[in-house]
Amino acid sequence: MSEFNVEKIRQDFPILSREVRGKKLIYLDNAATSQKPLAMIEAQARVYKELNANVHRGVHFLSQESTDAYEKSRVKIAKFIGAKSEQEIIFTRGTTEAINLVASTWGKANIKAGDDIVVTRMEHHSNFVPWQSLAKEKGANFKIIELNPDFTLDLNHLESVLKLGKTKILAFTAMSNVLGTINPVKEIAAMAKKYGALVLVDGAQAVAHTATVLKDFGDIDFLAFSAHKMCGPTGIGVLWGKKDVLLAMPPYQFGGDMILQVGDSDTSWNELPWKFEAGTPNYGDSIAFGAALDYLQKIGMKQIHEYEQELLKYAREAIVKLPGIRVLGPEPGLQGGVLSFTSATVHPHDLATFLDVQGIAIRAGHHCAQPLMRKLGVIATNRASFYFYNTKQEIAFFINALGNALEYFQ
Ligand SMILES: Cc1ncc(COP(=O)(O)O)c(C=O)c1O
């Protein structure tokens, strides 16, 4: 077991000691959103209690203080992912908005009829539909890379599509929110670059659960991720982009901070990163996100990943012993802390409801990945997903309750 003290860590998360339905909460829905440590909650409250003023707008003390805190947070994020400059960090509402930003600005400026836009079968709708929609609008071809039977990406299929030389952008996830598959981003990016495609990585799961920084991802152009999946607040996320690519992109929305000068017939844009941050930004949550990153870094992303791997191994070994349970995910080692499964006899929603009565929160549904569900031949799966504050005891309790559910529904 890793050296960090999970019981001590749990004390940082007030919600983990609450009861639901008269039972102790066991929260195993971390791939949807993580719980929040006091350090983040207090940092957010502090913004509104002590330094609230609109950023970049005033010469007065408070406005300068909140602007400083906002921009400091950007620097923290840049360091966290190993970006070359904070100018490459654009605040968005989350992963979804970050991807939509690229599809609607870079996409509209660069995609033309006959181009290929490529995604994979394991994408979340947020990294699927914006590209599908862009392809329709432009008359481009929308291509989906399929999976191997072991739930990894079929790299031969990918290369056969890239080889055609028509791919303008390859958008794929670093870690699947359904299968847990951790994709070899560096290898995939190198392949895309060989054939001249830009690369967008959906980091919604990977940035929260692995110790990966940009240099491990190799030659990518964009990375999108969300604060709420990594102990931060909701409503804030990041688009990282290579500076030269961002500079060449038209703005996303208009007004507020993204403006440099407005004439009667023309307007010029602010420099990076503000060119992409129209209107009053969500500075309260951005500052709190910085506090969440401080918290994660104190624990250590490497430790977090290793500990989650232990939890996953423990859960996988136990769950496969239950009758009729099929795990949908690759070999351990290629999988993050996400465990999707189906029962041969019981509907996923029945299982999740049975567990909910006992205070255990797992997910049932298509996990915003309907194209994947269709390919797997299921309408839904159950998904238990772990974070560093979960314990083996919780998992043992969950597996035991799952066993009881299977028996009950027999
Ligand atoms: C892999 C992946 N991509 C994108 C998203 C969308 O993230 P958000 O809803 O924070 O924009 C999620 C959320 O579950 C996800 O897991």
Ligand 1 close to Cβ of residue 233 (< 6 A): no
Q: Is the pLDDT of residue 283 over 90?
A: yes
Is 366 touching ligand 1 by the criterion CB < 6 Å? no
pTM to 2 decimal places:
0.97
pLDDT over threshold 60, residue 2: no
* Mutual angle of helices 155-162 and 185-194, in 10-degree steps: 20
* SS3 call for 295: helix
The answer, yes or no, to whether residue 1 has pLDDT greater than 60, is no
Check pocket membership of 202 for ligand 1, CB cut-off 6 A. Answer: yes
CA atoms of 366 and 378, how far apart (whole Å): 9
Name, in order, each residue with C-beta under 8 angstroms of 393's C-beta and a sequence gap of 6 or more: none
Does any ligand 1 atom lie closer than 6 A to the CB of residue 94?
Answer: yes
Give me the active site residues, please.
Answer: 368
Asked if residue 214 lies in contact with residue 88, where contact means CB atoms within 8 angstroms, the answer is: no
Alpha helices in 327-391 (DSSP H): 348-356, 370-376
Residue range 85-113: mean pLDDT, rounded: 98
In this prediction, residue 4 has a pLDDT band, given cuts at 50, 70 and 90, of: confident
Say how many Å lie between the CA of residue 164 and the centre of ligand 1. Answer: 30
Q: What is residue 58's predicted lDDT score, i.e. its pLDDT?
A: 78
Q: What is the pLDDT of residues 205-228, one digit of tens each?
A: 999 999 989 999 999 999 999 999
| Cβ(67) – ligand 1 distance below 6 Å | no
Q: How far apart are CA 191 and CA 268, in angstroms?
A: 37
Residue nearest to ligand 1 atom 7, measured at CA: 95
| pLDDT tens digits for range 304-352 | 999 999 999 999 999 999 999 999 999 888 999 999 999 999 999 999 9
Protein residue closest via CA to atom 16 of ligand 1: 177
* Residue 179, token pair as written in the block: 């299968």
pLDDT(183) > 80? yes
SS3 content of the chain, % helix, strand, coil (to 5): 45, 20, 35
- The best mutation among 122, 124, 202, 209 to test binding of ligand 1, ranked by most ligand atoms within 8 Å of the C-beta, falls on 124
Going by C-alpha positions, the residue among 340, 338, 339, 326 that lies closest to residue 406 is: 326
**Residue 100: pLDDT over 80:** yes
Answer yes or no: is pLDDT of 400 > 70. yes
- State how far the Cα of 258 lies from the Cα of 276, in Å rounded to an integer: 6
98 CA closest ligand 1 atom index: 11
User: Given pLDDT bands bounded at 50, 70 and 90, which one contains residue 26?
Assistant: very high
Full DSSP string of 131-180: HHHHHHHHTPEEEEE-B-TTSSB-HHHHHHHHTTS-EEEEEEESB-TTT-
Ligand 1 centre and the CA of 323: distance in Å?
32
Question: Residue type for 82, please?
Answer: G
Kindly state the average pLDDT of the residues 22-40.
98
Quote the CA–CA distance of 401 and 389 in Å, as a whole number.
Answer: 20
Rounded Cα distance between 189 and 154, Å, is: 14
Q: Is the CB of 385 under 6 A from ligand 1?
A: no
**Cα 126 to middle of ligand 1, angstroms:** 7
By most ligand atoms within 8 Å of CB, the mutation choice from 172, 185, 368, 387 for ligand 1 is 368
181 lines ligand 1 (CB under 6 A): no
The answer to whether the CB of 226 is under 6 A from ligand 1 is: yes
Work out which ligand 1 atom sits closest to the CA atom of 234. 10
Kindly list the structural domains of the chain, giving each domain's residue range(s) and its CATH number in brackets, ordered by start: 6-30+300-409 (3.90.1150.10), 42-297 (3.40.640.10)
Write out pLDDT tens, residues 229-244. 999 999 999 999 999 9
Of 329, 372, 340, nearest to 121 by C-alpha is 372
- pLDDT > 70: what percent of the chain? 99
CA 405, 408, 409, 410 torsion-angle sign: positive
Rounded mean pLDDT, 47-54: 97
Rounded to the nearest integer, the mean pLDDT of the chain is 97
Structure tokens that stand for 410 in this block: 């027999």
Pocket test for ligand 1, best of 95, 97, 182 (most atoms within 8 A of CB): 95
